[in-house]
Amino acid sequence: MSAPNSKTDGNPVGGGNSKGTATPIPRADESQIVSVMALARKAPTLEYTFQNILVSIATVIFASLSLTLTVLVVLPLSVLRAIVQKCNSGVLTLIPPEECRKRGKVVLIVGASRGIGFEVLKQYVPEPNTTVIAVSKDADSLRNAITHLGDTPATVQMETLDIGANSSKEIAKLVNEWDEKYGPISHLYAISGISNHIKDSSPWNMEVTEKIIQVNVSGITALSMAMYERMKGRKYGKICIVGSVAGLYNPANMISYASTKSFINTFATSLRVLAAPHNVEVVTVEPGFIDTRMTKKMRQQGSTVPDVEFESAEEMARRMKAGMEKGGVGVVSWPTRQMVVMNALQGKTLDILNMLSR
């Protein structure tokens, strides 16, 4: 028996209709190929990907160890601290020396004319027997802001300082003068900072980057170190340094700002350890998306962060003050949901996401 004839007993080779016309094999759309190739070019190398896998595994292991240590050791100690604190009228902090007790609180706020700094100022002005040294580079804005507060139980002193223009020696000289004139200063809030765009029309370039480094890194570090040296000498003081959750990850569209805040986060956290033996407490503040002039500019420039994610500067300031006054609080980061996500996403995972989103 002969084999079936393909033209009469079956479909034509290559498919087709009843007349035997062949149907061409579909070809991939060229635009799709280009898109796939473009995505492939953005993807990390195999070596980098395997490296990320190893880092992720190590992260899981050490996170598990951290969780175990926290639950079995740190949590019981925290409960004990809470009990002692409750028995001590809600406060468990350093005992100030006699000269500080006589003078009362002397709070130095640098960056006090607007935003979080002004809200911190508002937290302290209702307190009697308190002196607030409000500092800003813009004397007129600071004067107007304080005028709107009206009469306050606290004494408010105004000073001018541009930490982005003054040298570290000039900053230290002013801090020493204020400490002698109004002090001893018991609290420092180092809040001043600028973002990638100093002005709406400013491009991101080396000039802008240098200015950001001068303010966010050099200025804040010089200010904090000058105050720390004074406090260390008298074995008492509280320093609050404002970093950012942006310093926990790598937002390419905020390259200069995020890099400087990463430095500040590390600097403040390390200073806390070095200052502890000298009875100087250091609090690192890592704000998330807070509704300030800086973030308003960010939204005007096309930020995709939903408005609901921006929280109030007033609440941020309240939490900063609570952390400073209660003592023993190493890091204040809020909104909590943003802090948790940013800490969890630290490392190479965000690097890869940034690569793919270019």
Task: Give the amino acid at 50.
Answer: F
pLDDT at site 14: 46
Reported as a single tens digit per residue, the pLDDT across 156-176 is 999 999 999 999 999 999 999
Q: 0.85 exceeded by the pTM? A: no
pLDDT at site 92: 57
pLDDT at site 88: 65
Beta strand pairing status for 311-312 and 331-334? unpaired
- Kindly state the tokens that stand for 223: 């200010």
pLDDT at site 309: 79
Compute the distance between CA of residue 62 and CA of residue 102 in angstroms, rounded to an integer.
47
pLDDT at site 43: 77
The string of DSSP letters for 262-287 reads HHHHHHHHHHHHHHGGGTEEEEEEEE
Listed in sequence order, the residues at least 6 apart from 310 whose beta carbon sits closer than 8 Å to its beta carbon are 289, 290, 291, 295, 299
Fill in the DSSP letter of residue 246: G
The string of DSSP letters for 178-227 reads HHHHH-S--EEEE-----S-SSTTPPSSHHHHHHHIIIIIIIHHHHHHHH
- Kindly state the tokens that stand for 186: 């018991």
Q: Locate the domains of the chain by residue range.
A: 34-92, 94-356
Compute the distance between CA of residue 19 and CA of residue 191 in angstroms, rounded to an integer.
81
Compute the distance between CA of residue 355 and CA of residue 250 in angstroms, rounded to an integer.
11
pLDDT at site 89: 60
Task: Give the amino acid at 323.
Answer: G
* Class of the domain covering 94-356: alpha beta
pLDDT at site 193: 92
- Kindly state the tokens that stand for 281: 């407490």
pLDDT at site 354: 55
Listed in sequence order, the residues at least 6 apart from 223 whose beta carbon sits closer than 8 Å to its beta carbon are 110, 163, 171, 175, 188, 190
pLDDT at site 4: 47
Angle of helix 46-69 relative to helix 348-356, nearest 10 degrees, comes to 140
Residues of the chain with pLDDT below 50 are 1-16, 198-200
pLDDT at site 91: 56
pLDDT at site 203: 61
- The angle formed by the CA atoms of residues 18, 21 and 24, to the nearest 5 degrees, is 125
Do residues 186 and 100 make contact, with C-beta atoms less than 8 angstroms apart? Answer: yes
Reported as a single tens digit per residue, the pLDDT across 25-64 is 555 577 777 777 777 777 778 887 888 788 888 888 988 9
Compute the distance between CA of residue 81 and CA of residue 87 in angstroms, rounded to an integer.
10
